[in-house]
Amino acid sequence: MKHKGKTNPPGRQKIIEALTRLMWTNDFNSVTTAEIAESAGVTEGLIYKYFNSKKDLLYRVLNDLFAQFNETILERITGKSSAIEKLEVIICSSIEYYAANRVFARILLLEVRNSQEYFNSEAYERVRAYAHNILVIINEGIGSGEIKPDADPLILRKIILGAIEHACVGEIIFSRDLDAPSVTQSISTIIFNGAKA
Amino acid sequence: MKHKGKTNPPGRQKIIEALTRLMWTNDFNSVTTAEIAESAGVTEGLIYKYFNSKKDLLYRVLNDLFAQFNETILERITGKSSAIEKLEVIICSSIEYYAANRVFARILLLEVRNSQEYFNSEAYERVRAYAHNILVIINEGIGSGEIKPDADPLILRKIILGAIEHACVGEIIFSRDLDAPSVTQSISTIIFNGAKA
DNA sequence: TTTGTAAGTAAGTATTACTCACCAATTAGA
DNA sequence: TCTAATTGGTGAGTAATACTTACTTACAAA
């Protein structure tokens, strides 16, 4: 029988932790269900009691990690009144979080987007909420006169998200250090003040 | 015996075309070697005569597509003397190319980066050359006084590449239309003139 | 006590990426 | 010209892997 999903039994949690642990050194495709089970100290069958597929398990891991991420972000922007300041906090917090939580970053930026199922997952819902939040702040900034009224909010969001991701993705792939405040400073200067002399 | 790689026999080319064709509708992981062979009209064994692995095949496909892409770009920027103009041409050409060649875009942006082997591939070398070219143009722009001298060239490149990618990735995943000139215009305005009012 | 369900096991199975021994035709060398 | 090697291609394997299914045990409530 399948699990109803109301509770979070120890076995289930151990499986989630095992995959997270294994992905510290391996990419998702090269981690096997047998390894996950062994590392969790349970049998392979149990994985399929709690998760529909190996990918479903991955999306749950991402979902858990993204939940924490979203909390951190929301916590940090409350109190800031300027829209640009809020956006800078989001940029910096995102980079910091990716730098500190490489498995999270790898899953989010490199492992899930290749398959359609992801876009029906709960994890993706959270990503949308995060992106929506940025859009709200941009519109707020346009409303208050902080941001140019003719800047396309959707494009500005794409640039911000793209800059965050691209600023991290290389360092995540090659396990290089990331100086979040300094990178944020550079990004923010270019995006808000422009690169043209 | 393994193939030496000097020639490009019909079977080899048919395999490349088959994967490209199959990836028009399916993501890489859900395409099987059996399907590739059948669609190419050859046997499964032949795939491994010409390619070391299924992934190696993917990287070769990307390599071929990226070669064309690089040619297109280089062709278009010759003649332009302003650095910013060159960068705008690169942004617009990239978006146009991704829009017109969705399989190429999906492979490059969504399918290869999750595995380390990719970063040793010939395809990745081409990506580096493309990125290097952008950096050269940025430095040229700083030298000529078009671009702010205190803008970090590496970060500016990340923002440009990030903006291009993020401007396309959603539309590629969800098969939406992409208006390259208009998106380029918006991106360029924000990056070069700044978003701040 | 009984009944139902949740937690977990163990032994499968089908599929899939990949291998290997072989064939036929062309080319090169002696 | 005979032969030896190389190239293009086949087809029947194999090991591994994601997933299934029938089963056991623990336990909570009625």
CA angle A83, A88, A93 (to 5 degrees): 125
Cα A76 to its chain centre, rounded Å, is 16
Say what percent of chain B tops pLDDT 70. 97
Asked if the Cβ of residue B10 lies within 7 A of any atom of strand D, the reply is: yes
- List bases, strand C, within 7 Å of protein CB: 6-12, 15-22
> How long is chain A?
197
Q: Is the pLDDT at B62 greater than 80, yes or no?
A: yes
Please give the C-alpha separations between residue B158 and each of A3, A170, A193, B143, B166, in angstroms, as whole numbers: 44, 10, 16, 19, 12
Quick: pLDDT tens for B4-21: 555 789 999 999 999 999
Q: What is the token pair recorded at B171?
A: 């539309």
pLDDT given for residue A3 in this prediction: 61
User: What would the pLDDT profile of A68-92 be if each residue is shown by its tens digit?
Assistant: 999 999 999 999 999 999 999 999 9
B128 touches chain A (CB under 8 A): no
Amino acid in position B122: E
Largest distance between two CA atoms of chain A = 66
Q: Is the pLDDT of residue A6 over 70?
A: no
Q: pLDDT tens, B28-59?
A: 999 999 999 999 999 999 999 999 999 999 99
Q: What's the pTM value of the predicted model, to 2 decimals?
A: 0.95
Displacement of CA B96 from its chain's centroid (Å) = 11
Compute the distance between CA of residue B103 and CA of residue A91 in angstroms, rounded to an integer: 30
Distance, in Å, from the CA atom of A24 to the CA atom of A31, rounded to the nearest integer, reads 11
Query: Phi/psi at A174 (nearest 5 deg)?
Result: -100, 15
Tokens of B144: 């000529």
On whether the CB atoms of residues B181 and B88 are closer than 8 A, the answer is: no
* pLDDT, mean over chain B: 96
Cβ partners under 8 Å of residue B161, min gap 6: A162, A166, B131, B134
CA distance A18 to B10: 46
Does residue B3 lie within 7 Å of nucleic acid chain D, judged by its CB?
Answer: yes
Task: Give me the pLDDT at residue A193, please.
Answer: 97
**Looking at the predicted structure, is the pLDDT value of residue A4 above 60?**
no
Q: Which nucleotides of D are covered by protein (CB under 7 A)?
A: 6-13, 16-23
Looking up tokens 């294994």 gives A22
Residue B173 has pLDDT above 60, yes or no: yes
